[in-house]
Amino acid sequence: MCKATNVATRIFEKGIELFGNEEIEIVLRYLGFLISLNDDASELLFSVVNSSDLNLYADARALFERVIVNFPPERARPLWERWARYEYQYGDLESAQKLEKRIADVYPTGKYSFYLL
């Protein structure tokens, strides 16, 4: 990763440390940042693969897993939606199916059900 990316990552991490349990918007922005890095990295997969690029998917997943437990279901819906879109785009079938089961467990009544394209 370049120096600017490292700086941005440190800033986001500090924001998560300070506000990650309260402000869902900073989590969504950080997740979007990591996903955008993965978008750039995915273009490289058919040329020269850099191991740090392959870790971006793991970084985004780790962020999601780290913060999703901090929010009740009624507030966490944007995170679940964002992660599901990402998983469907970059993940494999097994990961997508596991995520769908988790979403069904979190929203069993369908009250918070959502459709993803």
pLDDT digits (tens, 9 = 90+) for 69-111: 999 998 999 999 999 998 888 888 999 999 999 999 999 876 6
Return the pLDDT at 14.
93
Return the pLDDT at 33.
93
Band (pLDDT 50/70/90 cuts) for residue 8 is very high
Gap between the Cα atoms of 84 and 99, Å rounded: 7
HSE-CB at 86 with a 13 A cutoff on CA atoms is 25
**Core vs surface per residue 54-72: b (16+ CB within 10 A) or e:** eebbebbbebbeebbeebe
Return the pLDDT at 46.
38
Q: 74 or 114: whose pLDDT is higher? A: 74
Look at residue 20 and tell me whether its pLDDT is greater than 60: yes
pLDDT digits (tens, 9 = 90+) for 21-72: 888 999 999 999 998 886 554 443 433 444 444 466 688 889 999 999 999 9
